[in-house]
Amino acid sequence: MQKIKYLPVLFFAMMAISANTPRFGATYTEDELLQEFRQKLKLAAEDEKICNDLYAKAGTIQHPKPLLKGYIGAVTIARSKHVSLFDKLSTFKKGAAILEEAVTAAPNETELRLLRLTLQHNLPGFLGYKDHIADDKEFILANFSNTPPALQGKIADYVNTSGRFTDQEKQRLRV
């Protein structure tokens, strides 16, 4: 009878844990995850729950395509803001390595280049992750007209609001 007394406690503990993790046995398509990552990445840096949720979902994909892999790297970088002080640098380095692997696998993917550029522009300089800013800017400017309209809109928004592009560079995009 003593064991039954703890059964409700165990049940509620399991419910609390499952509320903060992806559904048991959940499968997500890469497209579903990619859309969710695109929508929530900016929030992940500020909201630990959103970040952890995205990070957990990222673990459900075994061999992601380069674009999703890049977003997984970006979420891992965002996660570095929410981990303990001792884990911050290693988590950041892990995320940066994942993102770099993705860009290496798909160097002509404009969205990956934009993702890396925005991260490198916005991360603190002491992290030393600024090596590709000029290359990514040039790639994005050179390939702007060949990108899908939705991505062109994101690029144009970033170019106009980031303060990181010169008037000459903006003129190249005609934004």
- Tokens 């929530």 map to which residue? 40
Domain positions in the chain: 1-106, 108-175
What's CA 110's distance to the chain center, in Å? 15
pLDDT under 70: residue ranges of the chain:
1-26, 175
Contact criterion met (CB below 8 Å) for 71 and 48: no
pLDDT score recorded for residue 17: 39
- Tokens 């380069």 map to which residue? 66
pLDDT score recorded for residue 172: 85
pLDDT score recorded for residue 76: 96
Contact criterion met (CB below 8 Å) for 148 and 107: no
Q: Render 63-108 in DSSP notation, one character per residue.
A: S--HHHHHHHHHHHHHHTTTS-TTTHHHHHHHHHHHHHHHHHH-TT
Q: Which helix (H) or strand (E) holds 171?
A: helix 167-173
pLDDT score recorded for residue 158: 94
Q: Is the pTM of this model over 0.85?
A: no
Dist CA 165 CA 105 (whole Å): 27
Assigned token pair, 85: 């002080």
